Structure 1
Amino acid sequence: MTVDDQVAATAAMSREQRDQFERDGYLVIRGALSEDEVASYTDALDRVYAVEEAAGRLAVDGSMHKLGAVANCPEAVGLIDHPNTFPLVWSILGWNIHIYHSHLDVHPQITIAKPYRFEWHQDGGRQNRELETDPRPRLSVKIAYWLSDVSEPGRGNFKVVPGSHVRNRIDGPPRRDVEWPEPAGSVEVCAGPGDAVLFDRRLWHTRTRNRSAFMRKGIFFAYSHRWSYGRDENDELLASTRFAGFSPIQRQLLGAKLATDGQVPGDHQWGHYPETTPLHGFLKRNGLLDPAYPPLRP
């Protein structure tokens, strides 16, 4: 790693990136992964898909949507704190974070008839009904790593309404099976293998159907504050010898109980003891805490 690479790996989100993210609700990071990384992560994902296929656990259309990305594909651990994307995450959410949700996705070409379903949504489930503010709080962000070519529409692209993260509602049908026009201003996000998309969980979005001959492949990680409850089933991973070899920050992101330093009662999800939190220590050592931005205040 060169000096320039080290600077890039520890650089906070730029003002231009922040302005775009706050305006549109998402960012496309071109070339986030190298060609070698794309090949390596694709091989790992293909191995998981082959196991699921052999076990008869794929959907009727041959697709795979498997929760617990690192638990089911440990080779994917390098993505969770990748230097080309992770600084954007902590720049938005701060240091008291973990991965509360992740999944491995493979979607082949649609070859069977499927009934209409209005799939537009915001991430977070019930929080979009139970939080009363307008707009609702951000709470989490998500990174989609694209391993296949979705550089043209019709390939199962991620589809969004730019700027809709500050709108609690969009126009939609009375039931999801009632055919309805696409939301005004919606666009398919086009990305090549190795590109990544960071988006605010409140952004209204959907996965389009893959009408192409390309196999749609991606790995997704959703980050939130550690006081939020995790969806991933990581107990077996956390107890494994392989997990012990992950870096302290990687263990934090995957939900490890952090060790006490002997001076305080120990870390917990509310972040009262930042000195026991690996990512806080990393940012502090690199001068990346920012007193002007509350989530990053020292």
Structure 2
Amino acid sequence: MTGTNRPASVARPHPGTAMTGEQRAAFERDGFLVVPGVLSEDEIAHYTTAVDRVYEEHATAGKLAADRSLHKLNAVDSCTDLAPLLDHPKVFGLVWSMLGWNVHVYHSHLDVHPPLTEEKPFRFEWHQDGGRQNREIETDPRPRLSVKIAYWLSDLSATGRGNFQVVPGSHTTNRIDGPPRRDMAWPNPDNAIEVTANPGDAVFFDRRIWHARSNNHSRITRKGVFFAYTYRWVQTRETMTADLPDLTPVRRQLLGLQDGDGDHAWGHYPSGVPLHGLLKDHDLLDPNNPPLKP
């Protein structure tokens, strides 16, 4: 599904800039950051066209949900035009600032949610990312383990457009009140907000923050692309099958295409990890993420 009109900025060798002290404090306090203006107008147009193409292919094949929405996993394998978003320099620095250099994308998806034409049956959708991690790790709070970037392609500057909902600060809370069954009507958690964003903005968030997607009652189709990053010793949910010979070494790392055995994924050999080398070249290595000592 590779497109022919790639943006001129597709080759991005620089890893971006480290998270500022102000950003880190806000992220640790709230569990998320809104990063304005990550994508240019040309990039928004390019990636919107790519996502629309995938959507139309699924519509033609009768593979949309009943409400004509699309939640397509494995974003780059599903739409190879999205590969440059893996390490976009205006936001990628937030990832390695929080998790270090031994990371990959373990989960990703592109989403298209048209306006609802009828009311959906109620379902309590508030959750933390990570699935079984939230049942099988016994610490309180549970460890961060992963972070996620949402790139917005549509105008979510007002609420009611399928906005990303969060409870600020809830990333250090293992539990929130919820119904005994998800189909039982239940109010939103206390202090929940709908995050507003303009086209081209990104939201960077801790996987532990309690969040949900609101229903889209507007006239705007909600479109976004999501990448979740974790340590390379955590198993990925996805398998990359597309042949993309022009991927940079860092993007190959993020897609799990690096050669090597389990010790390689554990980061025992940083000289063979592309992002480590790139950060070293730009004098951006964080001393809090040193190589493992023999």
TM-score using structure 2 length:
0.92
Which residue, 95, 102, 108 being the options, matches 1:96?
Answer: 102
Q: How does 1:126-141 map to 2 (within 5 A)?
A: 126-141=132-147
Distance (whole Å) between structure 2 residues aligned to residue 26 and residue 296 of structure 1: 28
Name the aligned partner's letter for residue 71 of structure 2: H
- Residues 118-267 of structure 1 aligned to structure 2 (within 5 Å): 118-234=124-240, 236-237=241-242, 240=243, 243-258=244-259
Letter in 1 for 2:218: S
Q: Distance in 2 between matches of 1:207 and 1:100?
A: 21
The residue that corresponds to 2:91 in the other structure is 85
Paired residues of 2:270 and 2:291 also in contact (CA < 8 A): no
Q: How many residue pairs align between the two structures?
A: 281
Matched, 1:290 2:268: no
Native 8 Å contact 1:121 1:204 kept in 2: yes
Q: Aligned with 2:264: secondary structure?
A: coil
Question: Match for 1:276 among 251, 265, 272?
Answer: 272
Equivalent position amino acid for 2:246 in 1: G
Residue deviations 1:116-149 (CA, integer Å, cap 9, x gap): 1110000001100100000000000000000000
1:31 equivalent among 8, 22, 37: 37
C-alpha change, 1:9 and 1:227, in structure 2 (3 Å) is closer
2:106–2:229: 8 Å Cα contact kept in structure 1? yes
Residues in 2 aligned to 1:297 and 1:161: alpha-carbon distance in whole angstroms: 36
CA 135–266 in structure 1, closer or farther in 2 if over 3 Å, else same:
closer
SS of 1:287's equivalent? Answer: coil
**Residues 177-217 of structure 1: CA deviation (Å, up to 9, x unaligned):** 11112111110000010000000000000000100110000
Aligned twin of 1:262: none
Deviation at 1:297, TM superposition (A): 8.8
Looking at structure 1, the residues matched to 199 and 108 of structure 2 have their Cα atoms a distance apart, in angstroms, of 19
1:14 paired to 2:15: no
- Percent identity between matched residues is 62
Contact 2:123 2:183 in 1 (8 A): yes
Structure 1 residue 233: Cα displacement:
2.9
Deviation at 1:102, TM superposition (A): 0.3
Task: Tell me by how many angstroms 1:11 deviates.
Answer: 1.9
Change (3 A) 1:297 1:143: farther
Correspondence 1:54 to 2:60: yes
SS in 2 for 1:169: coil
Distance in 1 separating the partners of 2:87 and 2:133? 26
Q: Is the 8 A contact 1:146 1:219 kept in 2?
A: yes
Counterpart of 1:247, as a letter, is T
> 1:296: Cα distance to partner?
8.0
In the alignment, which residue of structure 2 is the partner of 1:3? none
2:6 is matched with none
Following superposition, the deviation at residue 295 of structure 1 comes to: 6.3
SS in 2 for 1:177: coil
Which runs of 5 or more structure 1 residues have no equivalent in the other structure? 1-5, 260-264
Contact 2:267 2:291 in 1 (8 A): no
SS in 1 for 2:90: coil
Partner of 2:71: 65
Q: CA deviation at 1:112?
A: 2.4
Q: CA deviation at 1:269?
A: 1.4
- Structure 2, unmatched stretches of 5+, are 1-11
Q: CA deviation at 1:113?
A: 3.0
Hey, what's the Cα distance between the residues in 1 that align with 2:36 and 2:290? Answer: 26
Contact 1:257/1:267, CA 8 A, preserved across alignment? no
